[in-house]
Structure 1
Amino acid sequence: MMAPNVGYIRVSTSEQNTDRQLDGINIDKMFEEKVSGKDMKRPQLQDLLNYVREGDHVHVHELSRLGRSVIDLHKIVNELLDRGVTVTFHKENMTFVPGKQADPIQELMFGMLANFAQFERSLIKQRQREGIEAAKARGKHLGRPRSMTKEQEAEIKQKKSEGATPTQLAKEYGCSRALIYKIIK
């Protein structure tokens, strides 16, 4: 009996498509998720790590799909190899076989590509921070939409100053007392 071919597919958001990953590869069991690769707290990755056994072969489309951290990538691959599992990254054309000393050039490439995956994640975070700062500078409201208009907030403050209690105001405006306290603060 041949060792099972186990696939791992990941994209960062639910809007992204996984169709191109591992297309044409014969996979017996697939683990697929749509979450960030920033850390190892991914349900399908954990399920894969719990599922594989000695002799299995894990297939990943490209290195950055398995993780975005140099430390995490090394940890995952080394854990799989220590458990007797072969790991193949198809886009990079790299296969790591348990008990077999990796080619020094392959190890160098793995390290460099892991660093690029982490660097790319850092760039994404930096662009995101810059975008948020620019939006704030333009006065754009970020986050959850306001539940009260400015006029309603002014009314609440006025009624509070006239003696209305937060409980009465919350009932009148159909919101929580916590929101009333936040507005009158």
Structure 2
Amino acid sequence: MAGQRIGYVRVSTLDQNEKRQLEGQFLDRVFTDKASGRDTARPELAELLRFTRDGDTVVVHSMDRLARNPDDLRALVKGLTYRGVRAEFVKEGLVFTGEDSHMASLMLSVMGAFAEFERSLIRERQREGTALAKQRGAHTGRKRSLTPERAGEVVQRAGSGVPKALLARKYGISRETVYQYLRHAKPE
């Protein structure tokens, strides 16, 4: 009896489009995570691992969507194939069944290492871009919760004894944000 074809999709941010990853694939079910691939503790991946059965095929767009480092990739593929589940990677054109040759195992390791290398290059470029933006004075990081005027109000009211929790509720910010505005307002 042929098993199900089960898709796994992962995007790192909520605004990324996950639809294109397995477009054109016939799938019985798809599990989608909107989370970083830096570790394997992802809710939909865990559900996929519970759901799959002997004879099923797990279809993933590319190896870096399943795992970002070779150790996690090998462990996931080995865990699937040990249970009789095939792992198919569309972009790389590779299928793992558990009865793979030494060459297939080598390809899994090499492609996993490339995915990890590519991720480290992306992080390095991000750090360089942030450093250059700081040098030219561009704002980096999240937008401020309050305008400078409203932040001044928070500082002034906190200084006159208004409780921080009350200020946080009134201005729609967290208590930690109130404390951050107070720390930045202190003269050095």
The bucket for the TM-score relative to the shorter chain is: 0.7 to 0.9
SS state at 2:112 partner: helix
Q: Extract unaligned runs of 5+ from structure 1.
A: none
Q: What is the rounded CA distance, in whole Å, between the counterparts of 1:142 and 1:150 in structure 2?
A: 21
Q: Which of 124, 127, 130 is the equivalent residue of 1:126?
A: 124
Aligned residue for 1:107, secondary structure, equals helix
Report what 2:142 is aligned to: 144
Aligned partner of 2:18 in structure 1 is: 18
Percent identical across equivalent pairs?
38
Task: Report deviation, 1:151.
Answer: 9.8
Q: Which amino acid aligns with 1:38?
A: R
Q: Work out which of the two has the higher radius of gyration on C-alpha atoms and give 1 or 2.
A: 1
TM-score for the superposition, normalised by structure 2:
0.79
Q: 1:111 to 1:153 in 2, by over 3 A?
A: same
What is the alpha-carbon distance in structure 2 between the residues aligned to residue 179 and residue 47 of structure 1? 39
Q: In 2, distance between residues paired with 1:30 and 1:61?
A: 12
- TM superposition shift of 1:30: 0.7
CA distance in 1: counterparts of 2:181 and 2:163, whole angstroms: 10
Shift of the 44–156 alpha-carbon distance from structure 1 to 2, 3 Å rule, reads closer
Is the contact between residue 35 and residue 42 of structure 1 (CA under 8 Å) also seen in structure 2?
A: yes
Report whether the alignment pairs 1:184 with 2:183.
no
Aligned pair in 2 of structure 1 residues 118, 139: CA closer, same or farther (>3 Å)? same
Provide the C-alpha distance between the structure 1 equivalents of 2:14 and 2:134, rounded to a whole number of angstroms.
26
* In 2, Cα distance between equivalents of 1:55 and 1:61: 20
CA, structure 1 residues 156+53, in 2 after alignment: closer, same or farther (shift >3 Å)? closer
Q: Is the 8 A contact 1:6 1:56 kept in 2?
A: yes
Using structure 1 for the length normalisation, give the TM-score: 0.80
| Larger displacement relative to structure 2 (52-61 or 9-18) | 9-18
CA pair 77-166 structure 1, distance change in 2 beyond 3 A: same
Aligned with 2:19: secondary structure?
coil
Residues 13-33 of structure 1: per-residue CA shift (max 9 Å, x gap): 233223332333221111122
Note closer, same or farther for the CA distance 1:155–1:116 as it changes in structure 2 (3 Å cut): closer
How many residues get paired? Answer: 177
CA contact (8 A) 1:38 1:121 kept: no
Q: Tell me if the contact between 1:62 and 1:92 (Cα under 8 Å) persists in the aligned partners.
A: yes
Within the candidate set 78, 84, 108, 1:110 is matched to 108
CA distance in 2, matches of 1:124, 1:165: 47
- For 2:16, what is the secondary structure of its paired residue? coil
Are 1:167 and 2:162 matched, yes or no? yes
The code of the aligned residue for 1:76 comes to L
Choose 147-156 or 174-183, whichever is displaced more. Answer: 147-156
Residue 17 of structure 2 aligns to a residue whose secondary structure is coil
- 1:62 shift after superposition: 1.6
Unmatched segments (≥5 aa) in structure 2:
none
1:86 maps to a residue whose letter is R
Find the aligned partners of 1:61 and 1:128 in 2 and give their Cα distance: 24
Structure 1 residue 76: deviation in Å? 0.6
